Chain A
Amino acid sequence: MRPIATTRMAAGIPTGRLAIWWVVASEIVIFGGLLVSYIMHRLAKPEWGDHAANTNVWIGGFNTFVLLTSSLSAVLAHKAAVNGDGPKAAKLLYATCFGACTFVVVKALEWNMEISHGFTISSNTFWSFYYTAAGLHGLHVIAGAIIMLIIAETAKKNLELHRVELIGIYWHFVDIVWIFLFPLLYIAK
């Protein structure tokens, strides 16, 4: 049986939401550290613009679109969950997952292409940052998708519907990280 501690709400905010904000905050500083390191390098080294020219803005842009759309379906899932419509929330979560899968597949194809052109992770520090930042983000996308599938399974049975909101918050965070990565890695030439 659950301890009583889990049912209390002295601060007026549901415990799950506090926890997910904690996760997001700690992730923000992790990505923040990585991105600030990248930006400091980038400012000191104008020649990185030439390396960045080899990235494909169209593929990056398509992925941005995919992620934004998946965030929309996450919002709709939350709405459905608030209305108590578990099966609908589950369906929308599956749609979000589909977006995540599309993102990862496109990313894999893109990397494959770049590596075949000889731009590997050890080519120089720009490409090191490119693969590391996008790779770390990609791992978050995959992890988010897996958790979403688990939550969709319970939501289908109208159980633990508050979790739909929590995964939604996480998913927006993953989305926003990409919103930072896209201009920094692709657009800035």
Chain B
Amino acid sequence: MAESIPADAMHAHDDHHHTEQSIWSKYVFSTDHKMIAMQYMFTGMAMALIGGFMAYAFRMQLAFPGIDVPGYGTVTASDYNALVTNHGTIMIFWVAMPVLIAAFGNYLIPLMVGCDDMVFPRLNRLSYQIFLLSAIVLIASFFVPGGGFGGAWTAYPPLSAKSQYSLTALGSSFWLVAVALEFTAFLLGGINFVTTAMNARAPGMKIFDIPIVVWMIVVASILFMSSVGPLIAGAVMLFMDQNVGTAFFDPDKGGDPILWQHLFWFFGHPEVYVVLLPAMGITAEIMCVFARKKMFAYKTFLYTTFATGILSFTVWAHHQFVAGIDPRMANIFTVTTLLISIPIAEMCFIYIATLYGGSIRLTTPMLWALAFVAEFLIGGVTGIFLGASGADIYFHDTYFVLAHFHYTFFPIAIIGTFAGFTYWFPKMFGKMMNDTLGKIHFWGTIIPFNFIFIPLFVLGAAGQHRRIYNYEHFPELAGVEMQDMRVLATVSMLVMLVFQLVFFYNCFISWKKKQKDAGKNPWKANTLEWTTDSPPPHGNWPELPTVYRGPYEYSVPGREEDYFPQNVPD
């Protein structure tokens, strides 16, 4: 049996360096974790561009109703619904998840735990291929007769189940199949993340020597696996309702539309933490490195993570307070929802405490990491309004909700990704990014971001509800002041989109070797990925490392250097 062969007696990986690979097997059908990570990363970024383009189209329609949107055309009611639906779906399932979990997970886990690849490389490749297929199916849903699905990313039946209501018979089914395939891809991917972190650790790496970001991706994968099942069952049921004529969610034949909401949100709420945790992990790594500080209360941080994960299974019905569930249930879910604020608050306190006494260098990755904490706090506290049942009666389904979850998801999916990408760019491509351009891009993204969503909080407080393509039919929402707010949000979004060009330009020139070589460890960091070449060769290290200490031994007293890599013997 393969398990019985002592690991380091086997120098078979030397093969890796000498085999000439065709472009086809190197870039497309590679089983190398770094290449699969890049595939996920660039697919995710391409999908982010598509999702961003959708946001551009519908924000233009909201600010200037009826205009011929440059590059899109007129946004009709059905277009608008399809755009907002797929914007949400794409940004969560095809951007946040692939980039934060799959791309960073694939890239970092083997490098950070000190092994040469994932433990199931071919399964890893299959996971990406299914993911790519799911993305293609989703995009195809826009081009089938009837157009894309427009029943919101929550896909509540009967609207999503019956084509006479949604008018998108094929679009709904394509959307559902795409989402189900994406889930399958991540269930397969999760096998690798968890087993690699558990079993393929370098000699000497004990469980509390694992970097936070690896922990976070593992916990996120476990959360995903344990919450997505009911929704996969729900997706099968919904698909059969759409196409076979079953009546799971059809009240006329004895079904129940509310059932879907339970299945959806039982997954939907943990899903927030599935993408939040990797982003928090990335932020923690960066903050420790650039504050030259040990992570404050590493173990407490982990325990609060576990607490958050467990609590996240008990809060789902706070999305359904006014959905027709038994009103007594709302009381229970108000309590659990507010309880979850405690571990999350503690995690934020730990971040702040980590900065105390540090020696903070404000590099581009550090700016992103700090911005993550500062902005995520706003998203976190505004959630309390929505978790408190009495206040949610008013705020439910208004732009307040929308602004709240953009203040959580934007820091997660965009700020977290940029933090991680700019931090590990030297490792991934062997070149430093231009710091000035990086900072221009940072401020050009963060400032407009606040100017997009603070007006939306105000609009939500003024009662503007969601998923309306044109407010002119509602006298109380059609006023000039409110329209000005919408224009402000849209213009800010345009500014933000323009500044993304700086990022792509920066990537391009940095990659084109106009920047200096990164060397092995440009940030003077402790974790194992910085002990190999940049970019790491196939097989990662000529000789796999051994670990002697935890990942955050910065500024250790009595040591000349202010960092102490994990693989350096005492």
Q: Which residue on B lies nearest to A19, using beta carbons?
A: B191
How many pairs, one residue from A and one from B, have CB atoms within 8 Å of each other in the complex? 166
Per the bound structure, the CA–CA distance linking A33 and B228 in Å amounts to 9
Contacts of B232 in A (CB 8 A): 30, 33
Q: Mark A84-99, 1 if CB is under 8 A from B, else 0.
A: 0000000000000000
B247-270 contacts to A, CB under 8 A, are 247-248, 253-256, 259, 263, 266
Given known contacts A4-B10, A15-B119, is B191 in contact with A22 (CB within 8 Å)?
A: yes
Given known contacts A11-B199, A22-B225, A122-B244, is B230 in contact with A5 (CB within 8 Å)?
A: no
Q: Mark A16-50, 1 if CB is under 8 A from B, else 0.
A: 00110011011111111110110011000100000
Per the bound structure, the CA–CA distance linking A10 and B194 in Å amounts to 12
Q: Mark B436-472, 1 if CB is under 8 A from A, else 0.
A: 0000000000000000000000000000000000000
28 A-B pairs with C-beta separation under 8 A: A1-B13, A3-B119, A4-B7, A4-B12, A4-B13, A4-B115, A5-B116, A5-B118, A5-B119, A6-B121, A6-B200, A8-B199, A10-B199, A13-B199, A15-B200, A19-B120, A22-B190, A26-B187, A26-B190, A29-B227, A29-B228, A31-B233, A33-B230, A33-B232, A125-B247, A125-B254, A131-B246, A132-B246
Q: Which residue on A lies nearest to B244, using beta carbons?
A: A121
B542 interface hit (Cβ, 8 Å): no
Per the bound structure, the CA–CA distance linking A18 and B253 in Å amounts to 43
A150 interface hit (Cβ, 8 Å): no
Minimum CB–CB distance from A154 to chain B (whole Å) comes to: 13
Given known contacts A18-B199, A26-B229, is B116 in contact with A33 (CB within 8 Å)?
A: no
Given known contacts A1-B15, A29-B229, is B191 in contact with A8 (CB within 8 Å)?
A: no
A2 interface hit (Cβ, 8 Å): yes
Contacts of A33 in B (CB 8 A): 229-234, 263, 266
Given known contacts A124-B254, A132-B236, A161-B1, is B259 in contact with A37 (CB within 8 Å)?
A: yes
Per the bound structure, the CA–CA distance linking A121 and B200 in Å amounts to 47
Asked if residues B225 and A29 are in contact (CB atoms below 8 Å), the reply is yes
A156 interface hit (Cβ, 8 Å): no
B198 interface hit (Cβ, 8 Å): yes
Asked if residues B199 and A9 are in contact (CB atoms below 8 Å), the reply is yes
B154 interface hit (Cβ, 8 Å): no
Residue of A4, A14, A162 contacting most chain B CB atoms (<10 Å) = A4
Q: Which residue on B lies nearest to A14, using beta carbons?
A: B3
Contacts of A8 in B (CB 8 A): 7, 115, 119, 199-201
Chain A contact residues, majority secondary structure: helix
Chain B contact residues, majority secondary structure: helix
Asked if residues B225 and A5 are in contact (CB atoms below 8 Å), the reply is no
B300 interface hit (Cβ, 8 Å): no
Asked if residues A22 and B247 are in contact (CB atoms below 8 Å), the reply is no
Contacts of A129 in B (CB 8 A): 248
B565 interface hit (Cβ, 8 Å): no
Minimum CB–CB distance from A64 to chain B (whole Å) comes to: 22
Residue of A8, A37, A136 contacting most chain B CB atoms (<10 Å) = A8
B359 interface hit (Cβ, 8 Å): no
B416 interface hit (Cβ, 8 Å): no
Residue of B2, B13, B245, B255 contacting most chain A CB atoms (<10 Å) = B2
Asked if residues A125 and B233 are in contact (CB atoms below 8 Å), the reply is no
Going nearest first, the 8 A-B pairs with the smallest beta carbon separation are A29-B229, A33-B230, A3-B117, A122-B245, A128-B246, A33-B233, A34-B233, A5-B115
Asked if residues A29 and B226 are in contact (CB atoms below 8 Å), the reply is yes
Since A4-B116, A33-B229 are in contact, a sample of 12 more A-B pairs with Cβ atoms closer than 8 Å, ordered by chain A residue number, is A1-B13, A3-B116, A8-B115, A10-B201, A11-B199, A27-B229, A37-B234, A37-B248, A121-B245, A121-B246, A128-B246, A136-B236
Contact of B196 among A2, A5, A122 (CB under 8 A): A5
A7 interface hit (Cβ, 8 Å): yes
Per the bound structure, the CA–CA distance linking A53 and B385 in Å amounts to 49
Q: Mark A123-139, 1 if CB is under 8 A from B, else 0.
A: 01110110110001000
Asked if residues A7 and B254 are in contact (CB atoms below 8 Å), the reply is no
Given known contacts A10-B200, A15-B199, is B247 in contact with A122 (CB within 8 Å)?
A: yes
Contacts of B225 in A (CB 8 A): 22, 25-26, 29
Residue of A10, A13, A36 contacting most chain B CB atoms (<10 Å) = A10
Asked if residues A5 and B117 are in contact (CB atoms below 8 Å), the reply is yes
Contacts of B115 in A (CB 8 A): 3-5, 8
Contact of A7 among B5, B194, B198, B253 (CB under 8 A): B5
Asked if residues B254 and A45 are in contact (CB atoms below 8 Å), the reply is yes
